[in-house]
Structure 1
Amino acid sequence: MLALTRKVGERIVIGDNIVVTVVSIKGDNIRMTIEAPKEIKIYRGEIFDAIVAENIQAAVPNDVSDLDMLKVLTNVTKLDI
């Protein structure tokens, strides 16, 4: 982890193509811009955490019988080939 102190107008460069610039500071709030290629996904921390939690929930079957059905389907597919 890197902890930095930056003033308004100062920036941080990450790699060759990501630039974070401090735009303003008002009390406890810091406004910044992030310049990055479109293919790089940028999320606020709480949104990223929600996406991770949703992906974990989606990967867990609601019912154990779903796993049994998957075993049956896998065996049928192997036999059919």
Structure 2
Amino acid sequence: MLVLSRREGEKVMIGDDVVVTVVAVRGDTVRLGIEAPRDVPVNRPEAREAVARANGASVRFDDAAVESLRRLHPGSPRR
């Protein structure tokens, strides 16, 4: 891990097209501004994990849910 010291207003380049700017430092909180191409995902790890958990929960189903869907579409094939 590379550790850098920066002051407010100072920047760090990551590759050729990602710029991280220290926007503000207040107590033990640092605000960062990140400029990156739209195709580069920028997320906080805890937000990314929450999305992954929600996506995992959305694809889980049980027999009762499957039967409820079959009642909505009675002609659907059974597996």
TM-score class, shorter = 0.5 to 0.7
How many angstroms apart in 2 are the aligned matches of 1:27 and 1:57? 37
Deviating more after overlay: 27-36 vs 46-55: 46-55
How many angstroms apart in 1 are the aligned matches of 2:4 and 2:49? 24
**Amino acid of the residue matched to residue 62 of structure 1?**
F
Which residue of the partner structure matches residue 62 of structure 2?
Answer: 63
1:10-29 alignment runs, 5 A limit: 10-29=10-29
Residue 9 of structure 1 and its aligned partner are, at CA, apart by: 2.0
**Amino acid of the residue matched to residue 44 of structure 1?**
R
Helix, strand or coil for the counterpart of 1:47? helix
Which residue of the partner structure matches residue 32 of structure 2?
Answer: 32
More helix by share: 1
Residue 64 of structure 1 and its aligned partner are, at CA, apart by: 6.5
TM-score for both structures, normalised by structure 1: 0.63
Helix, strand or coil for the counterpart of 1:49? helix
How many angstroms apart in 1 are the aligned matches of 2:27 and 2:15? 30
Residue 38 of structure 1 and its aligned partner are, at CA, apart by: 1.6
User: Among the aligned pairs, what percent are the same residue?
Assistant: 39
Large movers: runs of 4+ above 3 Å: none
Residue 58 of structure 1 and its aligned partner are, at CA, apart by: 3.3
Which residue of the partner structure matches residue 42 of structure 1?
Answer: 42
Distance 1:51-1:28 versus aligned 2 partners, 3 A rule? same
The unaligned stretches of length 5 or more in structure 2 are: 67-78
**Amino acid of the residue matched to residue 54 of structure 1?**
A
